[in-house]
Amino acid sequence: MKILHVIPSISPSLGGPTTVVLNLVKALLDNGIETEIVTTNHNGSKPLDVPLYQKIEYQGVPVWFLPYFSPPMKEFIFSPAMTKWLWQNINNYDILDNHYLFSYAPSTAAAIAKWHNIPYTIRTQGQLTSWALTQSKLKKQIYSMLVERRNLNNAAAIHCTTEAEAIDVRKYGIKAPIIKLPLGVEQIAVNPQAKLRLHSLYNISPTTLIILFLSRLRHNKSPDMLIKALSLINTNCLDFHLLIAGDGELDYIDYLKQLIKSLNLNNRVTFTGFVQNEQKNLLLQGADMFVLPSVSENFSIATAEAMAAGLPVIVTPGVQLAPEIIAANAGLVAKEDVNALKLAISHLLTYPKLRQELGQNGSIWANNHYCWNQIASNLEKVYSAIINKSDFCESEVLQAQEYESINNNYKIAIPRY
The rounded average pLDDT for each run of 10 residues, N- to C-terminus, in the chain (417 residues) is 96 85 96 97 89 96 93 75 97 97 95 97 93 91 93 96 93 94 88 95 96 95 97 93 95 97 97 93 97 93 96 96 95 95 97 97 95 93 91 53 44 40
pLDDT value of residue 92: 97
pLDDT value of residue 361: 98
Are 322 and 333 spatial neighbours (Cβ–Cβ below 8 Å)? Answer: yes
Assign 221 to helix, strand or coil. helix
pLDDT value of residue 404: 47
Indicate the pTM of the whole model.
0.89
> Between vectors from CA 249 to CA 246 and to CA 251, what angle results, nearest 5°?
120
pLDDT value of residue 394: 61
Q: What is the DSSP letter of 144?
A: I
Task: Please report how many Cα atoms fall inside a 13 Å half-sphere around the Cα of residue 337, on the Cβ side.
Answer: 10
pLDDT value of residue 375: 94
pLDDT value of residue 309: 96
Q: What is the DSSP letter of 162?
A: S
Sheet with 120-123, strands from edge to edge, namely 55-58, 61-66, 34-40, 2-6, 95-99, 120-123, 157-160, 178-180
